[in-house]
Amino acid sequence: MFTIEHEYDATVVTLIDEGTAPLKEDVIINAFDDCVTVTQVDPRSDEVVHITLSLTQLRDLEAALDLPEGIYQLRKT
């Protein structure tokens, strides 16, 4: 399950783990004009962990999800 909210400066997507236990903490994705942040609570330390991806890194991640193992470099066409 997930939710989508449009805020002033970002679109916020929250991914909610469903299914059988053990369940993982919610993942919150904030999409800004120049980057995307991924946030999740680490249950071992009870601290919030933040990861920031540039739009280029996000593009590469999107492409990587559909490719076999290997090394790639995307080029503008």
Tokens 């942040």 label which residue?
Answer: 37
Each residue's pLDDT tens digit, 35-71: 999 999 999 999 999 999 999 999 999 988 888 888 8
Q: Distance between CA 44 and CA 29 in Å, rounded?
A: 21
- At 77, the pLDDT band (50, 70, 90 cuts) reads confident
**In this predicted structure, what is the pLDDT of residue 66?**
85
Above 80 in pLDDT, residue 76? no
The domain ranges of the chain are 2-64
The beta strand positions in 18-77, using DSSP E, are 27-31, 35-42, 47-54
- CA-nearest of 25, 30, 36 to 58 is 36
